[in-house]
Each structure stands twice: as C-alpha cells, then as structure tokens.
Amino acid sequence: MYYLYWISSVENSVHFPLNSNSGIYKRRQPKYLKQLIQNLKTGITSLEEIPVPQPGRGQVLIQTTHTLVSLGTERMLVEFGKASLFQKARQQPEKVQQVLDKIRAEGLLPTLEAVFNKLDQPIPLGYCQVGVVAQLGEGITEFQIGDRVVSNGSHAEYVSVPKNLVAKIPASVSDEEAAFAVIGSIGLQGLRLAEPTLGETVVVIGLGLIGLLTAQLAKANGCQVIGYDVDETKVRLAASLGIKSINSSTNDPTAFVKETTLGLGADIVLITASAKTDEIIHQAASMSRKRGRIVLIGVIGLNLKRTDFYEKELTFQVSCSYGPGRYDENYEQKGQDYPVPFVRWTAQRNFESVLRAISTQSVNVKALISEQVSFSDFQNVYGDMKNPNRVASLLVYPSQPKTLSRRVVFQPTGSLVGSLRAGIIGAGNFTKATLLPALKKNQVVIRGIASANGLSGTLMAKKYNAGFATTDYRELLRDEKVNLVIVTTRHSLHAEMVTKAIQAGKNVFVEKPLALNEEELHVLQELFTTKAQASLLHVGFNRRFSPHILQLKKLVGLQPGAMHLTITMNAGALPPSHWTLDPKEGGRIIGEACHLVDLAVYLTGSEVASVTGQSMGISSNSNSDNASFLLEMQSGSNVVINYFANGSKAYSKERIELYYQERTLVMDNFRVTTGYGWPGFTKLKTSIDKGHSEQIKQLKIAFESGKPLIPMSQLFHVTAVTLAMVQSLKQNARISI
C-alpha cells in the first residue's frame, strides 16, 4: 500500500490511499467524510456528512486512524446540550448578564433570537486525533505526505489542522498509544508550571484520564506521587501504575499526605478533578507544606479561604490547556513559533514530550484503554458517558480507500427557479443569523455555500435548501447557475475574492469592507473601469435601508442644505486576540466604521471633502477602536463620527443626532426615531431593524433592472474615505479626499 494524492480539476475531489497491488487505479464514486457533532440546543450527538476540508496556508490535512474520547470535557458538553434552557443559564451566569444587557439595548425578541441561533449552532467534538498526513497546505515544510502525526483535530475522518498543533509520532509508538499525546500535554503543562524537582512530593487530586497521565508524568520526573479519587476503580488502576493512591470517600486525604510526608506536607498539589465544590481547593491548601505550590488543571469551585493561603504563603496558578501558544492566533493560525531559547515548551513541544515519554515507557497508556469502538458505533460511548468502568475510549476509523469530495450535493425540496441565484462564501455567525434569513425572506435561491472547514457551510446549506456545500469557494465561481457571489469572509480576503468573482463574470455582493488599502481599492477601480462593465458590485451598507434611516432621508430630502450630523457607534470592547483587531484584517475602523461613513454620504447627499481624526489617548493610534472623526462634506455639512469601544454594552449600540434648519432628529439604535420641530412627524418605533432584509429586497430589484444597488462611485468613495480616516490617525493630520 502506498499513498497517491491529487485534486481533480473537474470534480474537485481528493483521492486517498489506492491499492498498488491491483495495477489499475480505479476512480471511485465520491464519498463525504463523516464528522461527530454536538447540538447544544437539542443535546443530540450525531455524525454529519461534510466535504473534505481545504488545508489553508500553514495547515496539514490529516486522514484519521484513531481519536480519543475525552470523557470529562466531552461529557460536560453532552450534558450541557441535554440540559433545559434554565439549567444552561444556571451553568453560565456570566452569559446571563450579557443576555440581560442585550435585552436592555436591543429588546427581548432580537435577544432571544440571537440566543437560540447561538445554541442551534452544532459544535465539533474531540481534540485528541491520530492519523496520516494526506495533503499539505501552502508553506508546509515540516511534514511530508504519509507522516504519522497527532493533532488536536476533532472526531472526523479527515481534519485540517495548523502545523503548530501537529506533531510527528515516533516509530516505536502505536497509533492507539499516540492518541493520548494531546490530552497528556494538558497534564504536562500543569506539571511544568509547578516546577517540580527530584524527590519532591506531588499530590494529584482526581484520577480521571488526565489525572492518571499527570501522576505518571510526575513519577517519571523523579517525584514521590500520591493520588486520590472517590472512584475505587480508578484508585486501583493508579496503584497498578505505581502511584500511591487512596479512596478519599473512605480515607482522609490530608491526614494521609501528612503521614506519608512525615508531617511536612505536599510540595506540589495538582488538581485534575472536575467538581463544583470548594472543598477541593481547601483540601489542597490544608495538605500543602509551607510555601507549597498548587496548580489547577481541572475545573472546581474557587471560593478561596484567605487563611489557607496566608499562613503558609502558598502559591496558586491555573494551567491553560496544552501550553504556551494555545489560544494565541499568531501561534496557532499563523504558524509563528516561539523561539526555544525564550519559550522552551510550547503546545507542540509538549505533544512531542508526551510522545517521547510513551516511547520510553515512562508513561503507560495501554493500561488506560477501556475499549476501542468503531467510529460508526460512537453511540456505544456517547450514549453512556457516565459508565464508571470507562477510563479511555478510542474511536477507530475505517482504513479502506476513499474518494472524498470537496463538494457535497443535496437534493433541495421545492422550486429553485429564480432570477437571483446566490453562491455564498463564508459561513460565520453573520451569514447564519442575519444574511440567510434575509435571503430566504426575499426568496433568493441559495445555490451553494462555501466554508473553510465544511461543517458550518454544510449545516447551513441543508437548513436553507441549498444545492450544495463546498470547502473550495472556486466551486461557486465555476458553477454556471450562480449569478451572484456573496462574500462574507474575514476582511483580508474580500478584495481578492471580489476580484476573482468579477473575473469569473459574476455579480458580487460583499460584506463591508470592500478593500483594506489603497492598492486593493485601485485594483478594483481599474477592474470596473476596463473589464467588468457586465458585472454589478454591491457592498453590504445595510443601514441606509433601515426604515429609520429612510425616514430621516425622507424628511431632509435628496439634496439637503448644510446640516450637522453626529453618528456614534458604541461598539463595545473586544479581547485583544479577536481577529478584527488584527492590523492585517484592517482593524475596526475600516471593518465597521465604514457603515457610518456611508450614512454620512447618504444622509447629507454629499461626498466627503476632508477627514480629521483623533484617537483616545495622548498620542493618536491608527489601530485604535476609540476614536472621533470630523468629516467636512462638499455640501458644507459637518459630520462627527464617534467609534467607541469603551462604553457600556447595556447602552444603545448606535445613535444618530441630526441638526438641520432649527429642527432635530434623533435615531436610537434602529428602534426609535424622534423628531423635534418637524411638522407631521414626531416618532417612529419598530423592533430593531438595521435594514438587512430591505437591502436584499432592493438588491433583487436592482439585479433585475441591471442597475447597481448603490452607485459604484459612492462605494469606492466611502471606501477611500474610510482608508483616509485611518491615515488621519496615523499622521495626526487633516486628510483631503
């Protein structure tokens, strides 16, 4: 058996191991890979057929042979899914507060709709995967096709994983053993944080799978290890692995530790248990020596008693997953490794360390395997996750050759006849919660949906009666039935995808922004000037189609005189790691404040003459998401745009104040518009309506008439102004347009 891989230019199918003994390579009918998912709304665990993922730059496509079921983490997800809405709320009180803030800002019905949409988004299960490298993304030199590897990939027949979360398996380690590498690294990271030295006493609280692995790693480090649990089966298993262990339901663990250490107490306590009680952290402090170290790897109650820690000067730390690099987008998604001299142990290097420990038999994982179950029989495990006799369950995947397609074809119900047939690139939350409902309401045919991982696009395609789902957006460009390509990807991909779609002869609707820099904008302008007269371009400036903005425009007229506008977006703070804050994605001013520029142009009926910006702080910051801008309009109007991330989320997100001819209009969050001094108009009240549905309705009309939804000159102008806003912050100067 050897491996032959290629991509068919016709059907875009990926072909995996073919038997060389036959002498003839037969083309097999495409099959769809299977992935295990959990629906957090219904609690149902199921297999979903999806197209094979497309490995992006710096990613590795892996054909799975085994995955390890994390009976702790995955059991929590399954039980959370099965819980009632009230029980879900009790488990996540911080989310409840966010919901209450959203209700105050946006109203009850929109908030409930958002919550149910979020819960109705199934998630992939699993993070301990073993397999064979099947395809390499651009820029991969560390791996070769055919390498046996481990990764944090999910329970799926094929996964695409960033290279820094993949590690090669030593020849002496079997696939079954290698499946423990990722979950073992979780325990290893906690142990590293404790900085154990030879001869120290380490207590491991909780002898589940992570606890048993952590205890063995501590023992291999030359430490005296004590473990305890309430499950007698696990206590006996730990003892068989050379771990001094007791059942804490029948013994006093604190007394046992002090007796074993001749009254000194534990040097290190590693908590790998999962429980809501605060008693565990109290026990850990009680059994520690003076200046001992406590590291939390699991999940427990954390109402600490000050005296426990004060009198002994104990240190306490929470361990984060596999190690340095975890949840760092630069490390995980962009492949930027930390230099060894400064960060000795990263997530990937921890994977490799566990594999070496297994290879040298310092850690025995074979004894932990309770069962091996065929992937198709997953319910044997997930249907009974409380089985006390299970320690580690392995899912075994079929090894027979397959031809896997990057395009899953469906048999849609009802009529798919329509003038507008959309192919959607991107299957994120905006597509799911906002765009697709608006398209459905306006009877736009969904021909196909492309998503990078395949799962989200497939689920949306099935729900909205699409013809197919794919992991290669070029499938949409090649499809003759698609006459409108909708781009809803990350911002850095917009200009490139719009260009390729226009070159393919498609009409394009792109979620803002249109471009991230002047070079991209220039390319698009040249494209429409020279080659794209037959194609229409639309940008998702939906707010001008809101009934509230339409009312403002009706009152001031198409070509009003000079006015003053103050447009404020209370955008809310984002974590520093959020992708929209990445300068390579344009930042939030280009990515979202462009909406406000479009409103300024639309309401004043004028283009912008100049921009002056100032960010919060002593010196101006071009990547700030706290900034104010003065736009001088050619008509003489002044527009102040405020984009703030430091406001309360309980306050309205967007607000417009319009001052014109001794009259005032105030629009509050697309729910209430109030007129002061306007004959015949005092107030407009609706549920929150930002114009998405009306925009799609008008898009259909524009398409059928062959005219742009918004004049293309305005689209290019608004984009140029938004880029100038960032330039103004960078130069701390007034920028003429």
Q: Which residue has the tokens 């993070």?
A: 127
At 23 the pLDDT is: 31
Task: Supply the DSSP symbol for 545.
Answer: G
pLDDT for residue 85 is more than 70: no
Report the top-level CATH class of 410-537: alpha beta
Mean of all residue pLDDT scores within the chain: 89
At 117 the pLDDT is: 65
β-partners of residue 288 are: 266
How many Cα atoms sit within 13 Å of 26 on the Cβ side?
7
Neighbours of 704 (CB within 10 A): 10
More confident: 664 or 71: 664
At 17 the pLDDT is: 40
Evaluate whether 16 touches 30 at the Cβ level (below 8 Å). Answer: no
What does each C-alpha distance from 93 to 87, 88, 219 come to in angstroms?
A: 10, 9, 39
Indicate the angle between helix axes 181-194 and 347-359, nearest 10 degrees. Answer: 110
pLDDT for residue 106 is more than 80: no
Per-residue pLDDT tens digits for 299-311: 999 999 999 999 9
What does each C-alpha distance from 558 to 131, 138, 604, 637, 700 come to in angstroms?
A: 63, 51, 8, 14, 23
At 414 the pLDDT is: 63
At 397 the pLDDT is: 95
Radius of gyration of the chain (CA): 29
pLDDT for residue 690 is more than 80: yes
β-partners of residue 205 are: 228, 271
Per-residue pLDDT tens digits for 143-157: 999 999 999 999 999
CA pair distance 450, 427, nearest whole angstrom = 7
More confident: 734 or 117: 734
Per-residue pLDDT tens digits for 248-292: 999 999 999 999 999 999 999 999 998 889 999 999 999 999 999
What does each C-alpha distance from 478 to 10, 482, 502 come to in angstroms?
A: 10, 8, 12
- Residue 387 identity: N
Q: Considering the domain 184-324 in this protein, what is its CATH number? A: 3.40.50.720
pLDDT for residue 119 is more than 70: no
pLDDT for residue 28 is more than 50: no
DSSP-based three-state secondary structure for 341: coil
Q: Where are the domains of the chain?
A: 30-77+119-180+365-396, 184-324, 410-537, 542-736
Reported for 219-225, long-range contacts at CB under 8 A and 24+ positions apart, including other chains, are: 219/243, 220/357, 220/362, 220/363, 221/191, 221/196, 222/196, 222/197, 222/198, 223/196, 223/198, 223/199, 223/268, 224/199, 224/200, 224/260, 225/201
- The proportion of the chain whose per-residue pLDDT surpasses 90, expressed as a percent, equals 76
Evaluate whether 292 touches 200 at the Cβ level (below 8 Å). Answer: no
Evaluate whether 508 touches 485 at the Cβ level (below 8 Å). Answer: yes
pLDDT for residue 366 is more than 90: yes
Mean pLDDT of 612-621: 84
Q: Given this chain, do its domains 184-324 and 410-537 carry the same CATH topology?
A: yes
Per-residue pLDDT tens digits for 206-216: 999 999 999 99
Going by pLDDT thresholds of 50, 70 and 90, the confidence category of residue 10 is very low
pLDDT for residue 617 is more than 90: no
Going by pLDDT thresholds of 50, 70 and 90, the confidence category of residue 533 is low
CA pair distance 143, 520, nearest whole angstrom = 34
- The proportion of the chain whose per-residue pLDDT surpasses 70, expressed as a percent, equals 87
Going by pLDDT thresholds of 50, 70 and 90, the confidence category of residue 705 is confident
Domain 30-77+119-180+365-396, what fold?
A: Quinone Oxidoreductase; Chain A, domain 1 (3.90.180)
DSSP-based three-state secondary structure for 599: helix
Reduced 3-state DSSP string for 143-187: CCCCCEEEECCCCECEEEEEHHHEEECCCCCCHHHHCCHHHHHHH
CA pair distance 86, 260, nearest whole angstrom = 46
What does each C-alpha distance from 234 to 223, 252, 322 come to in angstroms?
A: 20, 17, 24
**Who's near 108: CB < 8 A, 6+ residues apart?**
none
pLDDT for residue 109 is more than 70: no
At 286 the pLDDT is: 96
Per-residue pLDDT tens digits for 368-404: 999 999 999 999 999 888 787 889 999 999 886 566 7
Q: Which residue has the tokens 């990271």?
A: 189
Neighbours of 173 (CB within 10 A): 23
**Who's near 361: CB < 8 A, 6+ residues apart?**
none
What does each C-alpha distance from 663 to 23, 126, 498, 675, 707 come to in angstroms?
A: 84, 60, 42, 8, 35
Per-residue pLDDT tens digits for 472-531: 999 999 999 999 999 999 999 999 999 999 999 999 999 999 999 999 999 999 988 765
Going by pLDDT thresholds of 50, 70 and 90, the confidence category of residue 611 is very high
DSSP for 278-338, written as a single string:
SHHHHHHHHHEEEEEEEEE-SB------HHHHHTTT-EEEE--TTSTTTT-HHHHTT--PP
Mean pLDDT of 9-34: 43
pLDDT for residue 20 is more than 60: no
Task: Supply the DSSP symbol for 443.
Answer: T
pLDDT for residue 133 is more than 70: yes
Evaluate whether 547 touches 684 at the Cβ level (below 8 Å). Answer: yes
At 31 the pLDDT is: 65
pLDDT for residue 689 is more than 70: yes
Task: Supply the DSSP symbol for 117.
Answer: H
Superfamily of domain 542-736 in the CATH hierarchy: Dihydrodipicolinate Reductase; domain 2 (3.30.360.10)
What does each C-alpha distance from 490 to 191, 236, 405 come to in angstroms?
A: 38, 51, 25
What does each C-alpha distance from 733 to 196, 613, 727 come to in angstroms?
A: 56, 7, 8
CA 270, chain centre distance (Å)? 30
Burial of 458: CB neighbours in 10 Å, binned 0-12, 13-18, 19+: buried
DSSP-based three-state secondary structure for 265: coil
Lowest mean pLDDT among 107-111, 227-231, 359-363, 733-737: 107-111
At 29 the pLDDT is: 46
pLDDT for residue 635 is more than 50: yes
pLDDT for residue 416 is more than 70: no
Going by pLDDT thresholds of 50, 70 and 90, the confidence category of residue 42 is confident
Evaluate whether 207 touches 181 at the Cβ level (below 8 Å). Answer: no
Per-residue pLDDT tens digits for 169-204: 999 999 999 999 999 999 999 999 999 999 999 999
